Amino acid sequence: MRILGPLVHVIAGNPPARRGRRVTTGAATYREGPAPPGLAPWVACSWELRAGPDGHVHRVLPDGCMDLLWDEASGLHAVGPNLTAFLSRLAPGAAVTGVRMRPGGAPPLFGVGAEALREATVPAPELWGDDARRLAARMEGDGGPAERVQRMLGWLGARARRAPRPDPLVAEVARRMAADPRTSVERIAGDEGIGARHLRRRVVAQVGYGPRRLARVLRLQRTVLLAEAEPDAGLSELAFRAGFADQAHLSHECRDLAGVPPSRLLARTP
């Protein structure tokens, strides 16, 4: 899950967290923290989004990741991989705290297949029963965002001690596609000594969709990162550097995956 609106934060592929990351606008404040070393194979980062006095609307972009999140209004949920962007609204002053998994990191840690959570937001007790209810009760206790994050990370850490490691092939696919969006599925499969169909099955099982869509998603994420780092860059330059064939290709993918043209997406308006 990626938050995009008056503020932007995107991690493409299989990223390290940006330590101490904090973004503040008139609409909202977003903070991010790195994953603890013991959770790094599964977890990309923790995060908090707090709306301003007028509330906040943000566009959630697909990213190949899943999240465990706590919402003061609706409680503890697992959020699966979305195929396209959607809008989410926060009430004035409301806060959401989450832990973002790496691509392919959630299924072994959650104990739930990625396809089962695709395009879904599921109350945690429906997946993990009393174990999740106990965590939800602790999340409702005293303490601020930092304490909530530590409770979630502690709960995930306990699961990690008995969870298998993420599929290394899926992690490598995400890494290579994030680093070079022009890398083909066939090239990766050949380098790994397996067939493209076998690679696709493993990616779908752990990410929730196939490697070609993952490549499209990561290429769009790369575009947003580039635009954030270089706000004066034109759309043609961004399209080329992000790995699109041309600006028209960027426009098509942006409308298809984000639901808006690139001029609107990169202007950080929902």
Say which CATH number the domain at 240 has.
Answer: 1.10.10.60
Q: What is the pLDDT along the chain (270 residues), one digit of tens a residue?
A: 544 433 333 333 333 334 444 444 457 888 999 999 999 999 999 999 999 999 988 899 999 999 999 998 899 999 999 999 999 889 998 999 999 999 999 999 999 999 999 999 999 999 999 999 999 999 998 788 889 999 999 999 999 999 999 999 999 999 999 999 889 999 999 999 999 999 999 999 999 999 999 999 999 999 999 998 999 999 999 999 999 999 999 999 999 999 999 999 988 566
Question: Do 184 and 154 sit in the same domain of this protein?
Answer: no
Contact 66, 117 (CB under 8 A): yes
Question: Do 86 and 103 sit in the same domain of this protein?
Answer: yes
Question: Do 146 and 186 sit in the same domain of this protein?
Answer: no
Tell me if 30 is assigned to some domain: yes
**What is d(CA 90, CA 104) in angstroms, rounded to the nearest whole number?**
28
Contact 256, 246 (CB under 8 A): no
Contacts with 239 (C-beta within 8 Å, 6 or more apart), sequence order: 223, 245, 246, 247, 249, 250
Average pLDDT score, the chain:
89
- Give, to the nearest 10 degrees, the angle between helix 247-258 and helix 235-242: 80
Give residue 63's pLDDT.
Answer: 94
Give residue 1's pLDDT.
Answer: 56
Q: Would you call 268 helix, strand, or coil by DSSP?
A: coil
Contact 100, 1 (CB under 8 A): yes
Closest alpha carbon to 3 in 82, 72, 119: 82
Tell me if 242 is assigned to some domain: yes
Tell me if 270 is assigned to some domain: no
**What is d(CA 189, CA 235) in angstroms, rounded to the nearest whole number?**
32
Question: Do 7 and 126 sit in the same domain of this protein?
Answer: yes
User: Which of 100, 127, 160 finishes a domain?
Assistant: 160
Per-residue pLDDT tens over the stretch 207-231 = 999 999 999 999 999 999 999 899 9
Give residue 17's pLDDT.
Answer: 38
Question: Do 31 and 143 sit in the same domain of this protein?
Answer: yes
Residue 52 belongs to domain spanning: 2-160
CA atoms within 13 A on the CB side of 1: 30
Tell me if 83 is assigned to some domain: yes
List C-alpha distances in Å: 209 to 19, 20, 67, 179: 29, 31, 16, 19
Tell me if 113 is assigned to some domain: yes
Tell me if 177 is assigned to some domain: yes
Question: Do 51 and 87 sit in the same domain of this protein?
Answer: yes
For the chain, the domain total comes to 2
- Residue 231 main-chain phi, psi, to 5 deg: -65, -15
